[in-house]
Amino acid sequence: MRGQMRGQMTGRAVVVAALAAASACAPRGRDIRIGSKGFTESVILGEIATLVARGAGAPARHEREIGGTRVLFAALARGDLDVYPEYTGTLAREISRAGSRATTTSCGPPWRARG
């Protein structure tokens, strides 16, 4: 039970931190564009992120069920999205191609190369 609560708190902290970063980077007067994948959990997390952003006074728009990891990550890289919910393991496997042996250290170089 205690571990589960710690995990939930960590998840919330990550969402709040990502939204804070996205709102700081979004041009004034423009909505924070939040994307989600085509499955229920991702859509719910996208809705939560949208509500958190709006609750903090930032205009936000949720783009629902855009596609899979590569589609959303490409939209993020192009600047079409500001943030979307993702598992770190999925990013390691799908984007950095580090696979199951991924660690925060081994995933660092591919992300640094992307800026």
Which residues are 34's β-sheet partners?
Answer: 62, 83
pLDDT tens per residue across span 81-107: 999 998 888 877 777 765 555 555 555
The yes-or-no verdict on residue 115 having pLDDT over 60 is no
The yes-or-no verdict on residue 11 having pLDDT over 70 is no
Domain spans, the chain? 2-84, 87-115
Instruction: Specify the CATH number for 2-84; select among 3.40.50.720, 3.30.70.120, 3.40.50.510, 3.40.190.10.
Output: 3.40.190.10
What is the pTM for the complete model shown?
A: 0.66
Judged by average pLDDT, the poorest of 9-13, 28-32, 91-95 is 9-13
How far apart (Å, rounded) are the C-alpha atoms in residues 114 and 14?
20
